[in-house]
Amino acid sequence: MLNYLIKRLLEMIPTLFGITLVSFFIIHLAPGKPTDILTELNPKITPEARKKLEEYYGLDKPIIVQYGMWLKRVVRLDFGESFSTDHRPVMEKIWDRSQPIFERRLFITFFINALSMLLIFLIAIPVGISSAVRQYSLFDKVTTVVVFIGFAIPSFWLALLLMMLFGIHLHWLPISGLKSMNYESLSLIGKIWDRTAHLLLPVFVSAFGGIAGLSRYMRSNMLEVIRQDYIVTARAKGLPESKVIYKHALRNALLPIITLLGLSVPGLIGGSVIFENIFGIPGMGQLFFMGVMTRDYPLVMGILTIGALLTLLGNLLADIGYMLADPRIRAK
């Protein structure tokens, strides 16, 4: 088992290398240069000054050399300096050590994604089981409709609708940011509620599509398992139905779900750009969007790399989970 883990970890290295290589080339080969924006803002800039800037950023060198330079820094976890006017290191922008941990961008994005992942599993698995066990019941039909809508609904539209209903119409929940203006003056319980209230809509919106997908998947797994011979055997020997379902069927139906954990990470991270933009959440997605608009190569590359790393870690966790849950794999 340890050998397998080490092998998997080693396999991640060439994949991560490939991801950064592909991203780096795509981003740097896209037409236009970051210095174009400076030129647009300041039409008086001379070609010499522009050239100097390009030299300063290393943009005059061949792209493969630029990649080499970038890679050499990244192995030391240094993503370089941002191209924006503040020139802060990218790492500091993503993980600002001068801030408390729950104010750091990477933490905010990670935390919201982790919460929505938890919500997805907590809701989707029981829903999937119940609709499989009572196939074609009213509950099953209703969830099927909800699932199809969940697949098709644009998350940003769902966000707008919920903001209108709970924020503007009912005034129950705040619609923007992570805390209120008067946060500092609140009591401890007030502070906890304030933060929770700000998180409710973003977490629900980012989880909704996943809940639909996973509950559908859980339902079809469960239906498949229930038809197996060993379930018939379990019933035939007189076990109560709850035991048949929750002890014999569930464990096998859950196995494929674990892989989904890894596969859903890129989608969740990608979605964070959208909901952080709508809800005004100062996370990594928002930072990425700003970086993209200002052609901040180091920042964009840094966040893409971290996103890919999180994806690979998600896959690894899924593998480990699978191994722990399935004795057949553990034995190998």
User: Applying CB under 8 A, which residues contact another protein?
Assistant: 14-15, 18-19, 22-23, 26-27, 30-32, 148-149, 151-157, 160-161, 163-164, 168, 266-267, 269-271, 273-274, 277-278, 288-289, 292-293, 295, 300, 303-304, 307-308, 311-312, 315
The smaller minimum CB distance to another protein, of residues 261 and 303, is found at: 303
Specify the residue, 254 or 300, whose C-beta has the smaller distance to another protein: 300
Nearest distance, CB of residue 142 and another protein, angstroms? 15
CB-nearer residue toward another protein: 19 or 173? 19
CB of 162 to another protein, least distance (A): 11
Task: Report the nearest approach of another protein to the CB of residue 216 (Å).
Answer: 10
Two tokens at 58? 């290393």
Supply the minimum distance, in Å, between the C-beta of residue 277 and another protein: 6
Buried b (16+ CB within 10 A) or exposed e, 85-123: eeeeebbebbbbeeeeeeebbbbbbbbbbebbbebbbeb
Q: Which is nearer to another protein, 33 or 195 (CB)?
A: 33
What is the Cα–Cα distance from 14 to 278, expressed in whole angstroms? Answer: 36
Structure-derived torsion over alpha carbons of residues 231, 237, 238, 244, reported in degrees to the nearest 10: -20
Closest CA to 59 of 291, 290, 297, 293: 297
Do 312 and 90 form a contact (C-beta atoms < 8 A)?
no
Residue 38 in contact with residue 53, Cβ under 8 Å? yes
Alpha carbon distance 288, 218 (integer Å): 33
Q: Spell out the residues 6+ positions from residue 192 whose beta carbon is closer than 8 angstroms to its own.
A: none
Residue with Cβ nearer another protein (23 or 180)? 23
Q: How far is the CB of 71 from another protein (least distance, A)?
A: 16
Nearer to another protein among residue 82 and residue 315 (C-beta): 315
Min separation Cβ 56 and another protein, Å: 20
Give the residue from 122, 158, 111 showing the smallest Cα distance to 272: 111
**One-character DSSP codes across 238-257:** T--HHHIIIIIIHHHHHHHH
The distance of closest approach from Cβ of residue 229 to another protein in the complex, given in angstroms and rounded to an integer, is: 18
| Pick 13 or 122: Cβ nearer another protein | 13
In which residue are the tokens 């020997």 written? 237
